[in-house]
Amino acid sequence: MAGKPRRIALKPDIQVSRIPEQSLASPVNMFAEIQSGKGAFPLHSHPGMTLLTTLAGVVRGQACIDGVHYVVAGVTFYRLSGAVATEIGTVTGSGPVQIAYNRFQVGVVTDPRLYVYDRETLTFDEVLATEDNGFSGAAALCVVNGTGVFIEPGGDRFNVTGLNDFTSINPTEVSTAESRSDPLVNCVTLGSSLYLLGADTIEVWDNTGDGDFPFNRTIVIDLGLVSRETSVVIGPALYFVGRERESGCIGVYVLSGGRPQKISTPPVDRLLERAGFIDQATALTWSIDGHVFYRLNTTAGSVEFDLSTTLWTRVGSGVWGMATEPGPSLLTTCCAVDGAAIFGDGGGRLLRATFDANDIGGDVFVRAFTTPVTGDLGAQTIVDELELECQTGVGTINFDPVVYLTVSKDGGHRWSVPREGRVGKVGRYGRRVYWDRLGMAADWVFHFRMTDAVPLKVTGVWALVEQTRRP
């Protein structure tokens, strides 16, 4: 009996379940362009990256301010012009830093130290405690209408600085986020409002401009911030990993206009539950081709949220086996410079994201996706042929790239040896990527993986299927 063509459903978002075989259908280092019907939509690989430069030490933070690229790597604060890095000064510590700026200065916080770079005089100094300023350290820093705001380490107090001057600190201009007396974790600016993010609550303070103290509390939200480094402002909204005060549930939230909305799905929540040291999770934002992403890095793995499609997908670094999950992304900081996303990693590399590259600064770039469990109400089916609809003819004159197919016939418990499918040398645009004589099973799962440095754009998966018998 001749097989009948069947479209194999794809899943454009992350699947993490307590049932292992239900956790398989997740794209890794890929995103959905458009959803155009059940099981029919394009999957596009993430852009590759070209090496911009390598600095000494872990990239701890970066920002582009008035067209100038600033980076903290290792214990050094740099100003970059293209790939040329100029040392500005020393920033102690080894953990992530925050970078904020006003009209004349750049502030760098590495808890509990605050450093200030004067963009006019080109001086770089640490702010030290004096009898006049009463400075006791800074755990986070933001700017509201030119006024600097920093929170003190380990408590609920926050201070304000002079207008456009991080070094002008008045010990009397201090207040407390005391609606619940929980310790402050971060402070951010949305519009003209100051958001104080505590371990149990979020307080919104409006900038009144009052001469005595320029802020007034207006809203209190019963939601806490889990990790300072997960709070990222994207446009008019704040994205962060939060914890509900009463239930203790952890999820990813977006906050705008004083109203939080949960955006993490149960699969993402389960990943957060599995993650150890969740208070050390980090996040970043990046964009390309109209897609804006919020990427979250945890010890259990990395995921990212596409603001354009509202879908979550997996992100991974290195190469992983079928029995393991992708390791967390090693790209932990990012900022936009001249319209391009510049990522920083633990090796001091700065990498520019571009669709003109299909590796990560010369390292292997794995792109993969897995179909859901496919069957026919328990019936044994024969798959005569499986075809991957993808962009072909992307190799070179002497190189024919490979997509690997791995098959499970028992719902994802055991896997076959990988089989090659050729994508085609340059110009072979009509090349079919298919595998035949796959055998018989009731619970099919198909895993596709690309490691060659060529684009991977998938529009669908088709199978020629014969139904045989039911159990």
pTM score, two decimals? 0.93
| pLDDT per position as a tens digit, 264-316 | 998 899 899 999 899 999 999 999 999 999 999 999 999 999 999 899 999 99
Query: Which residue in 82, 94, 141 sits closest to 114, CA to CA?
Result: 141
| Number of neighbours of residue 319 by Cβ within 10 angstroms | 13
Which residue blocks in 96-143 are alpha helix, DSSP H?
none
Note if the bond before 112 is cis, omega within 30 degrees: yes
Q: 40 CB contacts (<8 Å, ≥6 apart)?
A: 7, 10, 459, 460
pLDDT of residue 39: 47
| Number of neighbours of residue 17 by Cβ within 10 angstroms | 13
Give the three-class secondary structure for 272.
helix
Please answer whether residues 368 and 450 qualify as being in contact, where contact means their C-beta atoms are separated by less than 8 angstroms. Answer: yes
* Whole-number Å distance between alpha carbons of 272 and 295: 13
Please answer whether residues 284 and 237 qualify as being in contact, where contact means their C-beta atoms are separated by less than 8 angstroms. Answer: no
- φ, ψ for residue 279, nearest 5 deg: -70, -10
The two structure tokens encoding residue 391 = 């962009």
For residue 215, give the amino acid letter.
F
Query: Which residue in 73, 109, 98, 101 sits closest to 88, CA to CA?
Result: 73
**Residue 207 CA to its chain's centroid (Å):** 31
Cβ-in-10-Å burial (0-12, 13-18, 19+) of 462 comes to middle
* Whole-number Å distance between alpha carbons of 100 and 63: 8
Q: 142 CB contacts (<8 Å, ≥6 apart)?
A: 100, 148, 149, 150, 187, 188, 189, 194
* Whole-number Å distance between alpha carbons of 243 and 225: 6
Cβ-in-10-Å burial (0-12, 13-18, 19+) of 2 comes to exposed
**Residue 144 CA to its chain's centroid (Å):** 26
Predicted confidence pLDDT, tens digits, the chain (471 residues): 566 888 887 777 765 555 554 545 579 999 988 655 554 578 999 999 999 999 999 999 999 999 999 999 999 999 999 999 999 999 999 999 999 999 999 999 999 999 999 999 999 999 998 878 889 999 999 999 999 999 999 889 999 999 999 999 988 888 888 777 789 999 999 999 999 999 999 999 999 887 778 899 999 999 999 999 999 999 999 999 999 988 889 999 999 988 899 999 988 998 999 998 999 999 999 999 999 999 999 999 999 999 998 999 999 999 988 767 888 999 989 999 999 999 999 999 999 999 999 999 999 999 999 988 887 767 888 999 999 999 999 999 999 999 999 999 988 888 999 999 999 999 999 899 999 999 999 889 999 999 999 999 999 899 999 876 655
Answer positive or negative: Cα dihedral of 255, 258, 262, 268: positive
Query: Which residue in 362, 350, 286 sits closest to 80, CA to CA?
Result: 350
First to last CA, the chain: 19
- φ, ψ for residue 340, nearest 5 deg: -115, 145
Please answer whether residues 313 and 14 qualify as being in contact, where contact means their C-beta atoms are separated by less than 8 angstroms. Answer: yes
| pLDDT per position as a tens digit, 221-273 | 999 999 999 999 999 999 999 999 888 899 999 999 888 999 999 889 989 99
